[in-house]
Each structure stands twice: as C-alpha cells, then as structure tokens.
Amino acid sequence: MRTQRALLLTAGFAAGFAGMTLELAAVRLLAPFFGTSAYVWTNVIAVTLLALALGAWIGGRVADRGHAERALLIAFACAAVLCFATPLVGPAFAATLLPADLRLDEAFALLVSGSLLATLAVFGPPLALVGACSPLLVRRLVDAGSSVG
C-alpha cells in the first residue's frame, strides 16, 4: 500500500514536471521560427492551460467510468511518446507554416496565427495527456484506500 502510494505520487510529480517542461520547451522550439514575443508566449500559455484543462476533464470522465488503471498506463505511454517526438516534429511543422517569400507586412499576422497553430498541433496533444493523468492518479489513490489530501 505504502509503495503503491509512493509510486502514484511520483507519477503525479513526473506528469507535472513533464507539463512544465513541455510549456517551456514549446517557446524554445518555436523561437527560431516565430520569435519569443509576448504573442508567442501568450499562445503557448493559452494552449497549455486549455490542453491541461481538457485533459483533466477527459481524465476525470474516464476515471469515473472505472478504467483508471488501464487509462493511466495508456496516457503515460502516449504522453511519453509524444513528448519525445516534439523536438523532431515541432521544428519541421513550424517551418511548413512560414513561406519562404514572406513579406514584412504579412509577417505579423502569420507569426501570431502560425505560433498558435504550431503550439496547438505539436504541444496540445501531449499536454492534454499529461493533464489527464492527475484525475486518473487521484482515482487510483482513492481506490487503493489512500486519502487524497
């Protein structure tokens, strides 16, 4: 019981750490293409919060249906694969959003919308999976007879 609780709490720490790492890595990965303006940071923060909230909602719904253990393993495995894929996919996807003959008067709108689209497509799914882990972990703790406070 004690070992299982420690393992679940460690998994919760790892999920939170992965979420923060993804958020900070998103700006660094997008910087060569879209810069690091307040608009890019706003897009990254907004997508992060949206994806975590959506993931928590989905994770809560799945946990209430009684599939927490299996869903937790799937969420962690898929999140891990997507997290490791982001440095490979992110720059390639961002580069496709910027045309080579971009005029200066078109740049601003494309930088704002492009960074939003890149963040949604590349970082949204792994962040949503990380967000789903919290309610699934809480359900596992409760099912194991542990307090959640």
pLDDT-based confidence at residue 52 (cuts at 50, 70, 90): very high
Max intra-chain CA distance, the chain? 62
pLDDT at 61: 92
pLDDT at 107 over 80: no
Share the mean pLDDT of the chain.
Answer: 88
Structure tokens at 67: 């599939």
pLDDT at 1: 67
Query: For 67-88, how does the pLDDT look when each residue is reduced to its tens digit (9 = 90+)?
Result: 778 888 888 899 999 989 999 9
Reported for 43-50, long-range contacts at CB under 8 A and 24+ positions apart, including other chains, are: 43/112, 43/115, 43/116, 43/119, 44/115, 44/119, 44/123, 46/116, 47/116, 47/119, 47/120, 47/123, 47/124, 47/127, 48/19, 48/22, 48/23, 48/123, 48/127, 50/124
Average pLDDT over residues 32-52: 93
The number of beta carbons lying within 10 Å of the beta carbon of residue 27 is 19
Q: What is the model's pLDDT at position 17? A: 93
Band of pLDDT at residue 120, cut at 50, 70 and 90: very high
Look at 109 and 25; give whichever has higher pLDDT: 25
Predicted pLDDT at 132: 92
SS3 call for 106:
helix
The arithmetic mean of pLDDT across residues 21-31, rounded, is: 92
Residue 19 predicted with pLDDT over 70: yes
pLDDT for 149 equals 67
| Sign of the alpha-carbon torsion through 26, 11, 80, 117 | negative
* Measured distance CA(12)–CA(34) in Å, rounded: 32
Q: Determine the pLDDT at residue 66.
A: 80
